[in-house]
Structure 1
Amino acid sequence: MGSIDSYIFRTTLTSFAVILASLTGVIWITQALRGIDLMTSQGQTILTFLGLTGMAVPVLVLVIAPVALMIAVAHTLNRLANDSEIIVMNAAGLSPLRLVRPFMFASVVVAILVGFISAYVAPEGLRRINRWDSEITADILANILQPGRFSQLETNLTIRVRERQPGGVLVGVFIDDRRDPNERVSIIADHGTVLKNEDGSFLVLEDGTLQRFETGKQDPALVAFGRYAFDMSKFSRARDVTYGIRERYLWELLWPEPGDALYARLPNQFRAEMHDRLLAPIYPFVFAALTFAFLGLPRTTRQSRNFSMAGAIAAVFAVRLAGFACSIVTSSTPAVAAAQYLLLGATLAVSLWVIARNIVIEPPARLMELINALTASLARLRLRPMPS
């Protein structure tokens, strides 16, 4: 790799890293705010909240990375054009097809990153979210004992906690247990904590009273206690974790197990997800070539780059939107998967053909005249003095 290639390669990857981190951070924050209820209403720690939402970041990167590369390529080309470096390189004999090479090198790095995330990292993150969610769902303190609410665990069992204090201390605990048809037990405790050990989960109550109303007796039995353990093991069992299609590794999609019940029920969805994973590393090459076809060719200062930038954005958006549409249709019609490969292959081939033929993509002359006339009219209206 020559000095020019190294310069463009470093500039593109540096811009890509900054843009990827920025876009991922913004989108992650917006998505994480939707799950803020996990920390506030369910009493989870900030580390649990960040851990759960952070596991979904690789899934965001899969979609954002090709777009971030497109923006990085556009930024690098604009920088080279503003410094007249593209014109100098072209005058020195460096053809556009040769100039696109370092951008393809950068696309290789992004494609490897996307392919690795698609094959392993993203499914692993979703699997951990699934397992973590199962543990949180089984957490009595987080999901059953909600402050200020009467939680009906069973038809004849109700628990209420007035408030939760730091350290997992539950204040103002009330339990109404009518599961035994021969007696009714009401427990009021000043405070309590949840204890988990190998024997199960228990609500350990302190400084309270227990009232037992037995059938056939008029007066209840009242007992004051300093410490009482209420068994809640039945309500803290983690649910069985089953992995969905998006949580399968790439090799599990390519070669599903013969006895896989999910594959037997949804074979088309399996194939659609497999094609999405295989196509993910191709998008960086397509977006880079498409952006270069609009912005990478040398042009004079009179040739506006604004239209080229808008065209590159519109073309990338159209290709990605078409890819999403084909992916959705593939779930019901597997033959449409071929259209995704044809779409990306044709877009890449046409882009490289435009680059090799030195075709500068410009708007029609009449369109530019109309835009210029409209701009001039607006400028005259803005400069016209207001009537007194």
Structure 2
Amino acid sequence: MTLIERYIFRRALVSSAGSLASLALIVWIVQALSRIDIVKTSASAAGNILWIALMLLPNLAAGVVPFAVLLGSIQTLNAMNADSERAVISASGASITLVARPIVLLGFLGGLIMLVIAHGIGPLASKAFYDGIRSVNVDTISVFLRPGAFEQIQSDLVISVGETNGGTIESLFIQDTRDPKLDLTYFAKEAAIVEQGNQSVLMLYDGQLHRKSRESGAISIIEFQTYAFDLSELRPDAGSDWTRSSELTTYQLLNPDLNDASIQQAPDRTIRELVNRFSTWLYCVAFAFWAVAVAGQPQTNRQASNAAMTLGLSGAVALQAVGFIVASNVGKIPGLSILAFAVPLAAILVNILLIRSGTNVSQLPIVQAIVDLPGRIIGAILRSGQRPGRSAGSGSR
């Protein structure tokens, strides 16, 4: 790269890194706050839930990398226009390729980061996250259960608690309908989790067990002072669909275990995960080209730079929405696997054509009409509100 290209790349990289840190932190905080009640239990519980929440960070960061590249690139190009640097580059006879090359390189760098996370760090972090959720102990019970809420832990298992005070649970309710012959309902004034080796046992104190036969409808009520509920029952066996496709390595997805019940029941999940891992990085490159298309042309200080940012974000969100719709239906509709790659590739091609033709996207008539539309609507409303007043005034004279 030339000196000016290194300068543009460095500025765009710093801006994109700041945008990535901000976006990832915001998304992570939103996810972590949904489980912040665990901090009230104990310091060890808070440490465990913090570790589980940190395992969300790699995949969350990968999801916002394209937008970070877009924001950092547009911000850099806008700043160069504001400082007249872009105009000087253009006046020196350099083509837009000089500006586009470092931005596109940044897009490929972001795509490489996404590939590393998708095929390496992401599955490991996802597995660590769900393993933490599966380890049913006092921490994860607090994660799953909120006081007064009925939480569906599994498809046929509902648990609710009144309060959690450290290792003690008050007013516990469990409805277990996993047995095809019996419906079991547990009530307990108190409960505590006891670790016995590798097993977690939920000890229920001073409660009742209601057993209802599905065949006869007969109900039997058993009162108990102490009752042990094996928490290992909350962990599905190996044949269940508990393991998510996001936890599997790319090698496991390419060579699936055909005896796995989850793959037999929903084979489209494997296909969808593979397509996502191999296609999402293309959006990072597409967004880099889009940033050059909307903000790469030299502009005067009179031309609003925020129009490029607004247009860039609007186009990126629209493209990402189309890609999300396509990706969510991969495996369900034939041919969508190819379309998942075609959407970002088509966007890249269109952006290249816009850049090579020297089109200033933000100055296109249709874009200007959309930008001016709110002002026209407000002006029309104000004019319509003034007309009756002028008519009444002229009539009084």
Aligned equivalents of 1:253, 1:165: Cα separation in 2: 42
Question: Which moves more between the two structures, 280-289 or 39-48?
Answer: 39-48
**Contact 1:138-1:236 at 8 Å conserved across structures:** no
Q: 1:128 aligns to what?
A: 128
* Secondary structure of 1:93 counterpart: coil
CA drift of 1:283 comes to 1.0
Aligned equivalents of 2:54, 2:336: Cα separation in 1: 33
Amino acid at match of 1:47: G
Change (3 A) 1:3 1:264: same
Aligned equivalents of 2:90, 2:104: Cα separation in 1: 18
| 1:83 partnered with 2:83 | yes
**Contact 2:142-2:164 at 8 Å conserved across structures:** no
Q: 1:360 aligns to what?
A: 360
Aligned equivalents of 2:63, 2:108: Cα separation in 1: 16
CA drift of 1:232 comes to 4.9
**Contact 1:202-1:231 at 8 Å conserved across structures:** no
Amino acid at match of 1:17: A
**Contact 2:326-2:340 at 8 Å conserved across structures:** yes
Q: 1:74 aligns to what?
A: 74
Q: 2:93 aligns to what?
A: 93
* Secondary structure of 1:333 counterpart: coil
Aligned equivalents of 1:143, 1:336: Cα separation in 2: 37
**Contact 2:87-2:298 at 8 Å conserved across structures:** yes
Q: 2:51 aligns to what?
A: 51
Deviations 1:62-118 (A, max 9, x none): 221111111001111111110111111112222112321111221122111111111
Amino acid at match of 1:346: A
Amino acid at match of 1:364: P
**Contact 1:194-1:202 at 8 Å conserved across structures:** yes
Change (3 A) 1:317 1:193: closer
Higher Cα Rg, which structure: 1
Aligned equivalents of 1:269, 1:141: Cα separation in 2: 28
Q: 2:317 aligns to what?
A: 317
Deviations 1:110-151 (A, max 9, x none): 11111111112222122112211222348799699x999xxx
Q: 2:185 aligns to what?
A: none
**Contact 2:49-2:139 at 8 Å conserved across structures:** no
Amino acid at match of 2:95: S
**Contact 1:136-1:142 at 8 Å conserved across structures:** no
- Aligned residue runs from structure 1 range 27-66, under 5 A: 27-40=27-40, 45-66=45-66
Amino acid at match of 2:259: G
Aligned equivalents of 1:369, 1:142: Cα separation in 2: 49
Aligned equivalents of 2:285, 2:4: Cα separation in 1: 20
**Contact 2:52-2:132 at 8 Å conserved across structures:** yes
Q: 1:19 aligns to what?
A: 19
**Contact 1:200-1:232 at 8 Å conserved across structures:** no
Q: 2:342 aligns to what?
A: 342
Aligned equivalents of 1:6, 1:88: Cα separation in 2: 17
Question: Which moves more between the two structures, 313-322 or 127-136?
Answer: 127-136
Aligned equivalents of 1:22, 1:162: Cα separation in 2: 37
Deviations 1:154-180 (A, max 9, x none): xxxxxxx999877x6899xxxxxxxxx
**Contact 2:326-2:336 at 8 Å conserved across structures:** yes
Deviations 1:314-336 (A, max 9, x none): 21111100000101222411311
Deviations 1:171-222 (A, max 9, x none): 9xxxxxxxxxxxxxxxxxxxx9976454967899xxxxxxxxxxxxxxxxxx
Q: Give the length in aligned residue pairs.
A: 335
**Contact 2:137-2:193 at 8 Å conserved across structures:** no
Deviations 1:205-260 (A, max 9, x none): xxxxxxxxxxxxxxxxxxxxxxxxx8958446672464211222222222323433
**Contact 1:138-1:237 at 8 Å conserved across structures:** no
**Contact 1:147-1:163 at 8 Å conserved across structures:** yes
Amino acid at match of 2:250: L
Aligned equivalents of 2:142, 2:8: Cα separation in 1: 52
Q: 1:179 aligns to what?
A: none
Aligned equivalents of 2:17, 2:140: Cα separation in 1: 42
Aligned equivalents of 1:137, 1:274: Cα separation in 2: 33
After TM superposition, the score normalised by the length of structure 2 is 0.70
Question: Which moves more between the two structures, 231-240 or 92-101?
Answer: 231-240
Q: 2:253 aligns to what?
A: 253
Deviations 1:248-304 (A, max 9, x none): 222222232343332232222211221111112111100010121011012344544
Aligned equivalents of 2:374, 2:232: Cα separation in 1: 70
RMSD: 4.4
- Aligned residue runs from structure 1 range 220-239, under 5 A: 232=228, 234-235=230-231, 239=235
Q: Which runs of 5+ in 1 are unaligned?
A: 149-160, 172-191, 205-229
After TM superposition, the score normalised by the length of structure 1 is 0.71
Q: 2:154 aligns to what?
A: none
Deviations 1:39-63 (A, max 9, x none): 4469962111211111111221122
Amino acid at match of 2:25: G
Amino acid at match of 2:15: S
Amino acid at match of 2:124: E
| 1:264 partnered with 2:249 | no
**Contact 1:194-1:203 at 8 Å conserved across structures:** yes
Aligned equivalents of 2:353, 2:82: Cα separation in 1: 25
**Contact 1:66-1:284 at 8 Å conserved across structures:** yes
Aligned equivalents of 2:6, 2:21: Cα separation in 1: 22
Deviations 1:339-363 (A, max 9, x none): 2222111110111111112111213
